[in-house]
């Protein structure tokens, strides 16, 4: 049995995923940095083809990394209705190393076009159809595009989805399929399957191997336990597919030009030195030791055809290196790439050794500002969905109750605005009664209204305690 046959038996057609895999492979190869049909090539040296490998600037990887760092980093905060709930949520996120998982997930999703955060509950024991959640804990994972199989979707939004993962135990590969589907009550149930073998051919695991394995899990909720991550880009390849578009999907030609320019810079140094033109007689065996006069694999040596004059057995050119022109070409392509992937102009600059990233505050009118805000809209919805799933899973299937009725996500705007200078200005406005303390705490301390209320009460209590300590209240009463 293979994956297509398995899902066909379950009543699902996964041809959409199979048809989309060719694009996944293209974007993934550029993300890795070496595309076999592009970076491997030959140069003819007049005698034979010499195999070459084109240099890569890893432009696609750099773009995906930068988008992940801009959208989800250590400065992003998630707050719930009250401080206790926020603390409980953060403990679960820290236990799962969520900051790293989500950052890497955003990077891979923007590179390949689609990814998913998935919630599950570990260490649940099932005894006679009764779930024991004494030792249960909530787990957060990221599943990359190749392991995501949409089952039903509407208007581009995936409603039911399957996730295919593998584990290796004692030299055996096990395939796990988790299907998140809706039942007749519109609640999500998770159907789990365990096989052994390869994707192309596998068999069901035996009962001994499936010990402790829960085949079906009813979440008892309409909250999905998965959240799809995609760039906020309109799909111009197939508008009907639920899969997202790679952030550099429409910049492949630019990536090719960039690597051509970068490889040309390297070749200019390698073979741009004095090129030697050699008569064919000079590339024959000598009469003594039977060795070639020149190495036939040396691409700096070009064999001239028969009939070349013997008084010109060896000649060379005397051209100077054109490195500055190639560096200019690299920077030109970097500028195009920056614009194509949504960073605007002059995000990257090549100094002759490495790519330098522009730093500093950007304008709110810039292309980069608008693109960041656009991507944040989709990412925010995904994060809210997964926070709701974590809070519900923790409340229903573990010992920690978390209220997720109010979720606030504050993204990092430090690159968009000088937060330090703006914070100082806001403090001055508060001292001059031009801004409320509540507004300051919400905008610059990332507190919600209930947290602000508690904080102001504490400040007032401390203020009263200090007055009593210095006897101000006593003096007022005596007067």
pLDDT tens readout for residues 440-454:
888 777 777 788 888
- Determine the Cα–Cα distance for residues 432 and 212; give it in Å rounded to an integer: 64
- Please state at what angle helix 252-270 crosses helix 323-340, rounded to 10 degrees: 160
One domain for residues 24 and 10: yes
The answer to whether position 49 is within a domain reads no
Taking 70 as the pLDDT cut, the residues of the chain under it are: 127-130, 271-319, 352-353, 358-365, 415-421, 466-479
The answer to whether position 383 is within a domain reads no
Q: Cβ(261)–Cβ(330) under 8 Å?
A: yes
Phi–psi pair at 212, nearest 5 degrees: 80, 5
Q: Is 131 helix (H, G, I), strand (E, B) or coil?
A: strand
The answer to whether position 175 is within a domain reads yes
- Determine the Cα–Cα distance for residues 180 and 191; give it in Å rounded to an integer: 7
One domain for residues 212 and 284: no
Give bridge partners of residue 65 from the DSSP assignment: none
Query: Residue 476 has what pLDDT?
Result: 46
The answer to whether position 391 is within a domain reads no
pTM, full prediction: 0.79
The answer to whether position 405 is within a domain reads no
Element (H, E) at 226: strand 226-229
One domain for residues 230 and 315: no
One domain for residues 257 and 183: no
Of 247, 266, 286, the domain-final residue: 247
Residue 450 belongs to domain spanning: 418-479
DSSP designation for 285: B
* Cβ neighbours for 347, distance < 8 A, ≥ 6 positions apart: 66, 334, 338, 357, 358, 368
- Determine the Cα–Cα distance for residues 207 and 196; give it in Å rounded to an integer: 12
Give start and end residues of each alpha helix (H) in 341-471: 367-397, 419-431, 437-444, 449-469
The answer to whether position 80 is within a domain reads yes
DSSP designation for 312: G
Query: Residue 479 has what pLDDT?
Result: 46
Q: Cβ(195)–Cβ(205) under 8 Å?
A: yes
- Please state at what angle helix 252-270 crosses helix 59-71, rounded to 10 degrees: 130
Phi–psi pair at 187, nearest 5 degrees: -100, 150
One domain for residues 123 and 226: yes
Q: What are the strands, taking DSSP E only, across 205-362?
A: 216-218, 226-229, 276-278, 301-303, 314-316, 348-350, 355-357
What's the N-to-C CA distance of the chain in angstroms? 92
If we measure between CA atoms, which residue out of 134, 88, 81 comes closest to residue 399? 134
The answer to whether position 50 is within a domain reads no
- Please state at what angle helix 59-71 crosses helix 323-340, rounded to 10 degrees: 40
One domain for residues 125 and 181: yes
Phi-psi region of 220 (alpha: psi -120 to 50; beta: other; left: phi over 0): left
Q: What tokens does 267 get?
A: 């070749």
- Determine the Cα–Cα distance for residues 78 and 400; give it in Å rounded to an integer: 18
One domain for residues 93 and 203: yes
Query: Residue 226 has what pLDDT?
Result: 98
| CA 194-199-205 angle, 5° bins | 25
One domain for residues 332 and 268: yes
One domain for residues 353 and 442: no
Number of structural domains in the chain: 3
DSSP designation for 77: E
Q: Cβ(362)–Cβ(415) under 8 Å?
A: yes
One domain for residues 84 and 133: yes
- Determine the Cα–Cα distance for residues 59 and 337; give it in Å rounded to an integer: 8
One domain for residues 260 and 204: no
Of 346, 368, 390, the domain-final residue: 368
Q: Cβ(150)–Cβ(242) under 8 Å?
A: yes
Of 206, 228, 247, the domain-final residue: 247
Give bridge partners of residue 403 from the DSSP assignment: none
The answer to whether position 10 is within a domain reads yes
One domain for residues 62 and 205: yes
């Amino acid at each position: 049995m293979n994956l297509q046959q398995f899902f066909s038996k379950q009543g699902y057609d996964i041809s959409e995923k199979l048809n989309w895999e060719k694009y996944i492979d293209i974007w993934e190869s550029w993300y890795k940095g070496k595309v076999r049909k592009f970076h491997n090539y030959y140069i003819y040296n007049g005698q034979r083809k010499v195999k070459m490998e084109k240099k890569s600037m890893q432009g696609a990887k750099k773009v995906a990394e930068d988008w992940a760092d801009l959208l989800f980093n250590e400065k992003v905060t998630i707050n719930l209705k009250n401080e206790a709930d926020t603390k409980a949520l953060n403990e679960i996120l820290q236990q799962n190393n969520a900051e790293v998982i989500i950052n890497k997930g955003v990077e891979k999703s923007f590179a390949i076009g689609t990814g998913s955060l998935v919630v599950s509950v570990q260490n649940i024991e099932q005894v006679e159809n009764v779930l024991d959640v004494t030792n249960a804990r909530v787990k957060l994972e990221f599943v990359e595009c190749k392991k995501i199989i949409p089952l039903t979707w509407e208007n581009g939004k995936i409603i039911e989805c399957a996730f295919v993962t593998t584990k290796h135990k004692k030299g055996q590969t096990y395939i796990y399929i988790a299907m998140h589907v809706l039942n007749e009550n519109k609640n999500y149930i998770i159907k789990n399957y365990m096989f052994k073998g390869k994707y192309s051919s596998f068999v069901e695991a035996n009962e001994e191997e499936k010990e402790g394995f829960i085949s079906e899990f009813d979440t008892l909720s309409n909250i999905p336990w998965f959240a799809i991550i995609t760039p906020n880009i309109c799909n111009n390849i197939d508008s009907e597919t639920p899969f997202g578009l790679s952030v550099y999907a429409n910049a492949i030609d630019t990536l090719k030009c960039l690597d051509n320019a970068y490889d040309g810079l390297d070749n200019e140094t390698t073979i741009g030195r004095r090129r030697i033109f050699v008569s064919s007689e000079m590339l024959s065996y000598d009469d003594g030791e039977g060795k070639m006069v020149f190495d036939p694999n040396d691409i700096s040596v070009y064999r001239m055809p028969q009939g070349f004059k013997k008084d010109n057995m060896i000649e060379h050119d005397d051209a100077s290196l054109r490195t500055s022109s190639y560096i200019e070409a690299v920077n030109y392509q970097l500028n195009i790439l920056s614009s194509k992937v949504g960073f605007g102009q002059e995000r990257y600059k090549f100094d002759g050794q490495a790519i330098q990233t522009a730093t500093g505050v950007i304008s709110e009118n810039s292309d980069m500002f608008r693109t960041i805000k656009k991507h944040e809209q989709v990412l925010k919805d995904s994060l809210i969905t997964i926070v709701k799933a974590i809070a519900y899973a923790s409340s229903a299937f573990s010992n920690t109750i978390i209220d997720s009725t109010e979720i606030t996500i504050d993204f990092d705007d430090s690159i968009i605005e000088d937060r330090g200078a703006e914070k100082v200005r806001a403090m001055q406005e508060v001292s001059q009664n031009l801004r409320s303390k509540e507004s300051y705490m919400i905008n610059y301390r990332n507190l919600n209204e209930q947290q602000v209320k508690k904080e102001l009460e504490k400040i007032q209590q401390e203020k009263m305690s200090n007055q009593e300590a210095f006897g101000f209240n006593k003096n007022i009463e005596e007067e």
